[in-house]
Structure 1
Amino acid sequence: MDNLTKEQRHKNMQAIKNKDTSIELILRKALWQEGIRYRKNCSKLTGKPDIVIAKYKIVIFCDSEFWHGYNWAIRKQEIKSNRDYWIPKIERNIQRDKKVNEILKSDGWLVIRFWGKEIQKKLPDCIQQIKDAITSRI
């Protein structure tokens, strides 16, 4: 990937899913089974949240570890190829996520973000956190 042109990188990036990812599907299925109704990928809200529980003004993002910079101080050092591209790209994503959180919170939304591994390995805890959030908004 080091020798790709900007256009080739852009084309590769377009192939990456930004909705209906496996972690989103896992969480949405579990919410539906719990009777929690939601909207998905709401383009009317800043950041286009993965899941929106409008009745309680709750938005949920399902963040993959690589794209959103999980444990970034350590993970940044592990990037070996094309560092000049990936490090600024992921750092922009991290900053964008923070800005999106600020905007949504200032508009009265409760923002919940889960890492992909949380959803995969601790799904009941994620569901409980959402239920607790709903209870707090009643």
Structure 2
Amino acid sequence: MKTRDLFADVPEQRRRLMAKVRPTDSKPEMLVRRAAHGLGFRYRLHVRTLPGKPDLVFPRLRKVVFVHGCFWHRHPGCTRTTTPKAHAEYWQQKFDDNVRRDEVSQSRLEALGWTVLVIWECDTKDQAGLVSRLNEFLSESQ
């Protein structure tokens, strides 16, 4: 069964809203990119040859940053980690798959010698804290 058929009874407004969700260049990701650039660090974006296609890759430092949305990647304890009531089983499976894929990607990166930082969408609300956390992560030696 196609996803479109599964959600045939979902209101058009929600369908349009969900269609706007994009995997790259999100507002939280752009905030992290600006912060890293402002600190003087240069990076590559969404390197497809690395597991999980990290959002920011610092090749010289062997470090990567993932910017995860709290809703999609299930930030533990976050108020944005809600589950839609319609088609709850479908959504739960989708969220479980996302979390499992994230864990596998991070493990594979670490096995390849990369250091991983996950920044949650809600962490980007505190810009000073974000800058401090990024600076600490990127400045520390392996």
Pair in the same fold by TM > 0.5: yes
Are 1:35 and 2:50 an aligned pair?
no
Unaligned runs of 5+ in 2: none
Displacement, 1:97?
0.5
Q: Deviations over 1:48-103 (max 9, x none)?
A: 00001111011001100110012279846x53111021000001100110111100
Report what 2:49 is aligned to: 44
Cα distance change of structure 1 residues 72 and 133 upon mapping to structure 2, 3 Å threshold: closer
Unaligned runs of 5+ in 1: none
Displacement, 1:129?
2.0
Are 1:137 and 2:141 an aligned pair?
yes
CA distance in 2, matches of 1:73, 1:64: 11
Say whether the 8 Å CA contact 2:39–2:135 is kept in structure 1: no
RMSD: 2.8
Where 2:60 maps in the other structure, the secondary structure is: helix
Q: Hey, which of these two has a bigger chunk of helix by percent? A: 1
Displacement, 1:126?
2.3
Report what 2:132 is aligned to: 128
Report what 1:82 is aligned to: 87
Are 1:113 and 2:99 an aligned pair?
no
Cα distance change of structure 1 residues 35 and 126 upon mapping to structure 2, 3 Å threshold: same
CA distance in 1, matches of 2:116, 2:89: 31
Report what 1:100 is aligned to: 105
Where 1:55 maps in the other structure, the secondary structure is: coil
Identity of aligned residues (%): 25
CA distance in 1, matches of 2:115, 2:19: 30
- Residue type at the aligned position of 1:137: S
CA distance in 2, matches of 1:31, 1:89: 31
Q: Give the TM-score taking structure 1 as reference length.
A: 0.82
Displacement, 1:42?
1.0
CA distance in 1, matches of 2:72, 2:21: 11
Cα distance change of structure 1 residues 14 and 54 upon mapping to structure 2, 3 Å threshold: farther
Count matched residues: 133
